[in-house]
Structure 1
């Protein structure tokens, strides 16, 4: 069942920006906020993201990554001058 959310004390500048953005997309401010709320709810929190990505062990060390990048880039144009 859909819920209603009320946001109080929105600054005039913020509301004006929301009105402009909604108008540019051809929708109402409530529809814009519904879309943004759905996007926000679908994303993991920073803590969830860090926990998820922090558990993935990497078999490649930082020096190996840097060496590979240096190899891909090649010599600097003015190196050795």
Structure 2
């Protein structure tokens, strides 16, 4: 059974943006919010994604990343100066 959600205290600028965005798509504000709510729940949260991925802290350092990028890019044009 469908549920009703009420959002209180939306700033005027935010509401105007919702009206504008809904108008651009030719739909009502409630329909826009229904679509966005469905989109939000269709994807896992970051916490859930990390849990599913079994992500652990990386042993890669910033220096490793910079060194790899430098290798891909090649020498800097002014490296000899």
TM superposition score normalised by structure 2: 0.75
**TM-align CA RMSD:** 2.5
Matched, 1:6 2:3: no
**Structure 1 partner of 2:45:** 45
2: CA distance, partners of 1:3 / 1:13: 26
CA distance in 1, matches of 2:80, 2:18: 54
State the alpha-carbon separation in 1 of the partners of residues 52 and 67 from structure 2: 27
Deviates more, 1:4-13 or 1:15-24: 4-13
Q: Structure 2 regions of 5+ residues with no counterpart?
A: none
Following superposition, the deviation at residue 10 of structure 1 comes to 1.9
For structure 1, list consecutive stretches of 5 or more residues without a partner in the other structure.
none
Give the aligned length: 79
